[in-house]
Amino acid sequence: MPIYACRTIAPSGALKERKIEAASELGARELLQGEGELVVQLRELTISAETRAVVTGGKRPPIDELASTIRQMSILVRAGVPLVEGLRSLAEQAKSDTLRVCLGQIAADVSQGAALSDAFAAYPNVFPVLAAEMAKIAEAGGSLAEAMARLAKHLETGADIRRKVRGALAYPIVVVCISVVTVLVMVTFILPRFMKLFTSMGAKVPWTTKALMATSHILVERWYLFVAGVALVVYYFRRFARSPSGKRKLDSLALKLPLIGDVVSKIVVSRVLASMATLLSSGVPMVQALETSASAADNEVIREALLTARKHVAEGRETSQALKASGIFPSLVVQMVASGEKTGELPTMLDHVCELYNQETDAKVKSLTSVIEPILIVLLGIVVGFIAISVIVPIYSLVGAVK
């Protein structure tokens, strides 16, 4: 089906630019109007099949590579390299196929007179909303090199946090995987031999051994039921997680979970505040900064709180009071925002809070790892102990009978 580039006004009054797939121009208009959006501009695009696949749902490139690409774009523009030439050069160097195709199409669009902000907005699955906003700021009279440098710094900070979290969770994940494989090997290969011995010799087995025998029988003789059950659980969980209500419930649960809830909250809030600081330092109004940062939250609870705060700010309330009324943001954030509003240094205050939260997140992730490790060891000991008791008790019963 054809792909249309559209510019619309959302029910909130915000101007949106994106690409959609529809059977005809009339179908595209009906689709947009059905979402409550007022169509300002609509035009059909002629793009390759490869680009079409990216527009309609290509795989998002790694955040590290995207941040590096934006940083290189900033350097090339600052060095005086023409934007189109720089985009084509970056496309040739891209490791991700999705990013390579996107940059090539963006270079073609810009060479034909399209704005860079519109080109970024056309690929929301590749470039964050903040990228289009920063490009739009540069087009309004700012420096594109500086705007891209700020965007690159924002992306690099987020990538660094993700890298630290993944590094801290690597050891627990490896321990869990090895434990699961070990237990499966014992239950499916080793225990059946003992079970045959116990059955042939008429040994008295406790309920723990019977439970283990039933589990072993299912995994060995009815393994397809186990695989089907796991597949169904994964399928329905992913379906639930992708639904709007399911995603909101999971996001809310993530903020309330013991041990990791505080870490998740700080990571999300830090990402939002960093986005706000980047936009405000570039001269974006607070109402627009709140709306754009809401899309960067990647958490429905925080996103809704930001959109509610945006509505209150648009009605004339102070940002600190609007954030406080949501009940989501910590008192430190509210106090720093209030101080920034009084002194006129709000972007600087937000940067300080982000730096503080990043340090606290790093420390909490390390402490969380030190807490998870002994818990995993204890759980593994319980499982191994259960298996050992289930095997040893019948053996003692056999030895007693022989005596």
Tell me: the pLDDT tens digits for 217-258? Answer: 777 777 788 888 889 999 999 888 888 888 888 888 888 887
Statement to judge: residues 377 and 266 lie in one domain: yes
Asked, for residue 316, whether it belongs to a domain, the answer is: yes
Decide: 160 and 67 in contact? Cβ < 8 Å. Answer: no
121, pLDDT greater than 60: yes
Whether pTM exceeds 0.75: no
For the chain, the C-alpha Rg in angstroms (whole number) is 28
So what's the pLDDT on residue 102?
Answer: 86
**278 in a domain, yes or no?**
yes
Residues 36 and 170 in one domain: no
Task: Determine what percent of the chain is predicted with pLDDT higher than 70.
Answer: 92
Q: Provide the token pair at 93.
A: 């160097």
pLDDT over 90 for what percent of the chain? 2
Taking alpha carbons only, the member of 212, 186, 183, 182 closest to residue 394 is 212
Sheet hosting strand 3-9, strand order edge to edge: 15-21, 3-9, 38-45
Confidence check: pLDDT of 117 > 90? no
Query: Among 41-55, 331-345, 352-366, 382-396, whose mean pLDDT is lowest?
Result: 41-55
The band of 356, judged by pLDDT with boundaries at 50, 70 and 90, is confident
Q: Which residues contact 2 (CB under 8 A, 6 or more apart)?
A: 21, 22, 23, 24, 44, 45
Rounded to whole angstroms, the Cα distance separating 20 from 104 reads 19
Torsion region of 13: left, alpha or beta (phi above 0 gives left; psi -120 to 50 gives alpha): left
State whether 29 and 161 are in the same domain: no
**Domain stops at, among 46, 65, 83:** 46
- Considering the domain architecture, whether residues 288 and 156 belong to the same structural domain is answered as yes
Q: By CB neighbour count within 10 A (0-12 exposed, 13-18 middle, 19+ buried), where does 131 fall?
A: buried
Residues 153 and 31 in one domain: no
Residue 116 located in a structural domain = no
Distance CA 367, CA 351 (A): 24
How many domains does one find in the chain?
Answer: 2
Average pLDDT over residues 194-218: 75
Q: How far apart are CA 1 and CA 24, in angstroms?
A: 8
Is 54 inside any structural domain? no
115 vs 398, higher pLDDT? 115
Distances in whole angstroms, Cα of residue 93 to Cα of each of 19, 37, 88, 186, 263: 26, 38, 9, 48, 35
Q: Is the pLDDT of residue 51 over 70?
A: no
Distances (CA, A) of 391 to 79, 153, 214, 218: 72, 58, 14, 18
Mean pLDDT of 3-29: 75
pLDDT, tens only, 53-97: 555 555 678 888 888 999 999 999 888 888 889 888 988 888 888
Cα angle 252-256-261, degrees, rounded to a multiple of 5: 110
pLDDT band, very low/low/confident/very high, at 403 (cuts 50, 70, 90) = low
Taking residue 134's Cβ as centre, other Cβ atoms within 10 Å add up to 30
pLDDT in tens, 266-315: 888 888 888 888 888 878 888 888 888 887 777 888 888 888 888 888 88
- Assess if residue 253 is contained within a domain: yes
Domain span at residue 386? 147-403
HEC letters along the chain: CCEEEEEEECCCCCEEEEEEECCCHHHHHHHHHHCCCEEEEEEEECCCHHHHHHHCCCCCCCHHHHHHHHHHHHHHHHCCCCHHHHHHHHHHHCCCHHHHHHHHHHHHHHHCCCCHHHHHHCCCCCCCHHHHHHHHHHHCCCCHHHHHHHHHHHHHHHHHHHHHHHHHHHHHHHHHHHHHHHHHHHHHHHHHHHHHHHHHCCCCCCHHHHHHHHHHHHHHHCHHHHHHHHHHHHHHHHHHHHCHHHHHHHHHHHHHCCCCHHHHHHHHHHHHHHHHHHHHHCCCCHHHHHHHHHHHCCCHHHHHHHHHHHHHHHCCCCHHHHHHHHCCCCHHHHHHHHHHHHHCCHHHHHHHHHHHHHHHHHHHHHHHHHHHHHHHHHHHHHHHHHHHHHHHHHHHHHHHHHC
- 100 within domain boundaries: no
Q: Is residue 363 over pLDDT 70?
A: yes
Contact 397/203 with Cβ under 8 angstroms?
yes
Residue 155 lies in a domain: yes
160: domain CATH number? 1.20.81.30
Domain-located, residue 181: yes
